[in-house]
Each structure stands twice: as structure tokens, then as C-alpha cells.
Amino acid sequence: GDSDVTAAVSNEKTSDEERRKQSCILFDRRLFRAESIANKRSGREGTAVLPRSYAGESLAIFTSGGDSQGMNSAIRSATRMGLYLGCRVFFIHEGYQGMVDGGDNIREANWNSVSDIIQKGGTIIGSARCKDFRERSGRLKACENLVKHNITNLVCIGGDGSLTGANMFRQEWPGLLKELIYSGRILKEKLHECPNINIVGLVGSIDNDFCGTDMTIGTDSAAHRIIEAIDAVVATAHSHQRAFVVEVMGRHCGYLAVVSGLATDADFVFAPEWPPPHNWRDIVCDKLRHSRGLGERVNIIIVAEGAKDLDGHAITSDLVKNVIVERLKFDTRITVLGHVQRGGAPTAFDRLLGCRMGAEAVLALMEMTSEDEPCVISTEGNAMVRVPLMQCVLRTQ
């Protein structure tokens, strides 16, 4: 039981505990919150903004990397706030790839473009991995395509890799413009019309793995998907007296594994941040054996996809299953939830989070000057804040 687990852990050798401290990420949630980031600024929620306050400005919205529930809510909110302020709003379809390819991938949006999307999962404007944007030649094409539409403001919805790419793009922008003018691909006037590009990021990630915000867009919905799936698994597991090893997403962050473990009364959780002791096999088997002895018919073990032991070796769902079968002879099955976690309708929380972040992103863009560095719209408590993009990215990495 729980006492057996406590005893087993306390009896671990000191050397094991030292190795644990050296090999794991000592998890302090305060390091991930906006309050730990320097130079953050309060958002504009609750203040009046006049319509057409920024008439003549233009902005583009794109999603990049893996999708997450709630992205459409952010797209909708950013679009309508931009239109309310008098801006021309563009969608860049298929992420950075659409920015590089240009053409029909960059289209102007209107109020109706985002009708009836807040309840939908995924992203209506598409997302794609883009190797071309990693090369300067690709970023040169992207710059040319944006300048053609006089786009000087970008809302980037994605993970830390997408936001890092956006920051690099901003830094290179003046040089890219000069190169395009020198080669005759754009007119000299564009240097004065589009001298710099402003960037605001929104973090769309189901893993909740970004420093500087309490919650990322899509995390709450993914947790709900996992909990629903485990609840369904428990019903059949109870009928057949089975153990289930459930694999969830979380390559570097075990948030989903931990919260779903708490919410479903799981027997054991493996998370990347806290490698288990070397005798984890004994601990798991003792726990399961004890629970069955008390009459339990179901056992649930949750494994984050990035779980590792103290030596850095992967703890996979197959490995955990084999330990249970070989040592306890329990009927054990594996359920890999995979992309189910990223699909489905967003929860009320993610719909509201995307809505609030999208509106704040546009206001932040409109208030930016050429000296301001890119920022990320984050949550601190129940407030929207603007935090420096690269501070958050570097701390995350």
C-alpha cells in the first residue's frame, strides 16, 4: 500500500537520491510563471478601446507546429479585435510554409471568416512543419510575401520553436528588406512603408511546457481527453480484472501525466521531471499486489512519453507492462492515447483562454514601437500579462 511505497523510497541509498537530484529537473512551478520573468507588463483587459483606433494598420495571424484545442478561439478573437480597431487582417495558411510559399496562402479575413469556429478543435488556417523557413532563403521569400501585403504585425500561435523562429525573423527583417530591394524584388519605398515587423506570440501546446505562463492553450482540453479515456478504460478493466498502462503526451513535461493521475486515482505515474528510484519495479509491483489483496480489480499506471529512469534510459509503456506481466502475471494491456489528446472540442477554459489571449495580442501589437522586443501573452493568476518572448523561450529550453 502507500506505506510500502513510502518505506521503499525512504530506504533508497543516499547515492541514488544524489543521482536523482543531478539527473532530474527539480520542479518548482514558480520558475515557470510570469511572476519570475523580468520586464513583464500588465495587459489591457478591462480598459476601454475606441473602435478604429488603429485604422490603416495591418496584421497577419498564423499557427505553427503542433495544433492544440483553443487555437481557433484565439484566431477568432485576434481577427475580430483587429477588425474592431480598423486594421486589415490576414490569415497565413499552413504556418511558416504558407508564409514562404505566399500566393493564395495569404488571404484577407473579414468578420464572417471566423464565425462558428470557437467550438472547433485544431486550427482552421492549418499548420505545418517548415524546413524552408530554417534557411535564410526561405525567410527572404517570407519577407517578400509579407511586404507585398504591407503586413508589419504578426500574431504567432505555436510552441517555443515557432516563437524562436519568429524572433529570428524579426531580427533579420531590416537586412532581408535591403537584400530584396538590392535584387529588385521589391521597390525602395517598401523600406519606409515596412521598416520593421512587430511580433506577439501565443503559446499553443497541450503539454503546458512553456515558462512564463500559468497555462498554455490546449492543456486543459487535453487533460479532459485523457481523463475521459481513462474513465472509459476503467470500466472494461474492472470487468476483466486488468491492469492498464496508459501512455500520454509529454516529452519533456509531465503535467498531463500528473494531473490525469490525480484526477483518475491512478496507481502510479511516471513523469520526465522526477525519475523514479532504481528499484521502481519493486515499488510498482508491491503497490499493485497490495491493492489486489484489498480487493481492487483495476490498476492504472500512467506513463508520460518522455519518462526516464535515473540513468537516463527511457521508461516505456511496453517496459512497464512487461514488468507487471512477468512479476505479477496480471492481465495487462497498453493504451497509447496519441493524437486523441490533441483532438476534439476545446473546453470552456480553453475557449475563454484563447479568446482573452487573442484580443490582448492585437492590442499589444498596436502599442508596440520599433524598439520593443517581441512578447508573449501569458496568464499570471487570472490576469493577462505581456512577457519578453526570448526570456521565456530560453528559460523553457
Domain ranges across the chain: 2-29+219-342, 33-217+346-396
What is the residue whose three cell numbers read 538590392? 182
Alpha-carbon distance of 100 to 102, in angstroms, equals 6
- The pLDDT of 224-242, averaged and rounded, is 96
- How far is Cα of residue 221 from the mean position of the Cα atoms in its chain? 12
Q: Which residue has the higher pLDDT, 25 or 43?
A: 43
Residue 109 has pLDDT above 50, yes or no: yes
Three-state SS at 70? coil
Residue 6 has pLDDT above 50, yes or no: no
Judged by average pLDDT, the poorest of 36-40, 178-182, 291-295, 299-303 is: 36-40
Q: Are 240 and 333 in contact (CB under 8 A)?
A: no
- The pLDDT of 208-228, averaged and rounded, is 95
pLDDT tier, 288 (very low <50, low <70, confident <90, very high otherwise): very high
80: which 3 cell numbers? 475580430
pLDDT for the residue numbered 34: 54
Alpha-carbon distance of 182 to 238, in angstroms, equals 71
The phi, psi pair for 363, rounded to 5°, reads -60, -40
Share of the chain above pLDDT 70, in %: 90
- The pLDDT of 114-123, averaged and rounded, is 98
The single residue of 67, 101, 207, 350 carrying the catalytic annotation is: 207
- The pLDDT of 322-329, averaged and rounded, is 98
- The pLDDT of 136-153, averaged and rounded, is 97
Q: Edge-to-edge strands of the sheet including 41-42? A: 41-42, 383-388, 375-380, 198-203, 153-158, 58-63, 88-92, 106-108
Share of the chain above pLDDT 90, in %: 82
Judged by average pLDDT, the poorest of 8-12, 184-188, 362-366, 381-385 is: 8-12
**Contacting residues for 384 by C-beta, under 8 A, at least 6 apart:** 42, 43, 44, 45, 356, 357, 360, 377, 378
Helix axes 2-10, 280-293, angle to 10 degrees: 160
Positive or negative torsion for Cα 207, 209, 215, 218: negative
Looking at CATH, the fold of the domain delimited by 2-29+219-342 is given as: Rossmann fold (3.40.50)
Q: Are 375 and 389 in contact (CB under 8 A)?
A: yes
Mean pLDDT estimate for the chain: 91
Q: Is 207 annotated as catalytic?
A: yes
pLDDT for the residue numbered 27: 45
73: which 3 cell numbers? 478561439
pLDDT tier, 169 (very low <50, low <70, confident <90, very high otherwise): very high
Q: What is the pTM of this model?
A: 0.89
Residue 9 has pLDDT above 80, yes or no: no
Specify whether domain 33-217+346-396 bears CATH 3.40.50.450: yes
2-29+219-342 matches 33-217+346-396 in fold: yes
If phi > 0 it is left, if psi is from -120 to 50 it is alpha, else beta; for residue 85 that is alpha
